[in-house]
Amino acid sequence: MKKSISVIILTFNEEKHIERCIKSLLPITSDIFIVDSFSTDATVQIAESLGARVYQNPWPGNHAKQFQWGLEHCPVDTEWVMKMDADEFILPELADEINSRISLIETESSGIYIKRRVNFMGRWIKHGGYYPTWLLRIWRYKDGVMEQRWMDEHIKLTSGNTIQFQNDIVDDNKNDLTWWTTKHNNYSTKEAVDILNTIYSFKNYDEVKPNLFGTQEQRKRKLKHLYAGMPLFLRPFIYFIFRYFIKLGFLDGKKGLIWHFLQGFWYRFLVDAKINEIYLKAGKEKYNIQRVLKEDYGIEF
């Protein structure tokens, strides 16, 4: 029987994760599309052996562009489409919920929010304001596009309202801490550019609108704008204290301390250090910052 949902997954050297991800999705669909950035490991072979269809495209510089390429080039012919990361999987309870509910959704609803839980070093991070994280991960194919941002991109609906499902996607990366810190070092450059764009408005994104009283992603977008207006180097301290003590991150134990410190303080301090480095080179005049971003980072607005 033909399923009503397709799934798109971006990959690059994900042989540790892709089998688990695809197998978790097989109960809901056989229409699984891999958009691969020319992996050099066994990612493609594993995906194809499990029935996924692989399309390859050179990495365009960020997730938003690559995922939008997938939306435009994968032959999706189902009513609904789902976004997954290769290091994620869906719980059996979510698979059952998708199968039982998706055909019953009223026509005025075009998007479905799913909860994501993060596992770090084998521990579910339940505190620090990190669970539940609600993400719009399933939408009617004709009614959604990917925001074109450097970081923190979301699906934006062009019409319709949204509903919530009750079961979870699990983010559980199997790579080691060296890999994690390297990844977040790379992310920090993009985050620095994104914050500078928030301050200087180099480019106006067609984005999910910031709203303190809207969806979780709208609230986070608004808080991110407020965060961008705080003093450099002070804001990582404030954020970590809020997350670890006020939002009870300390209840996540030793592994939680590592997670909240690295993701909630070290990473954000590194972002500020990179913004400060750009200011040292360019000053705070908009044109000079744009010049440095182009000359030193290859980023042009």
Residue 155 host element (H or E)? strand 155-157
Q: Give yes or no for a contact between 109 and 143, defined as CB atoms under 8 angstroms apart.
A: no
The pLDDT value recorded for residue 224 is 85
Q: Which residues contact 264 (CB under 8 A, 6 or more apart)?
A: 128, 236, 239, 240, 243, 244, 249
Please state whether the peptide bond connecting residue 132 to the residue before it is cis, i.e. omega within 30 degrees of 0: yes
CA distance 71 to 143: 12
Residue 22 has, within 13 A of its CA and on its CB side, a CA count of 26
DSSP alpha helix (H) spans, 74-148: 92-101
**pTM, entire model:** 0.93
Q: Which residues contact 168 (CB under 8 A, 6 or more apart)?
A: 90, 91, 93, 94, 114, 115, 116, 117, 132
Q: Which of 158, 192, 211, 159 is nearest to 273 (CA)?
A: 192
| pLDDT < 70 positions in the chain | 1-3, 205-207
The pLDDT value recorded for residue 1 is 38
The pLDDT value recorded for residue 150 is 76
Q: What domains can be seen in the chain, in order of their start residue?
A: 5-172 (3.90.550.10), 177-297 (no CATH)
The pLDDT value recorded for residue 205 is 67
Structure-block tokens of residue 189? 């450059």
- Per-residue pLDDT tens for 63-96? 999 999 999 999 999 999 999 999 999 999 999 9
Tokens 């750009």 -> residue? 278
Q: Give yes or no for a contact between 81 and 144, defined as CB atoms under 8 angstroms apart.
A: yes
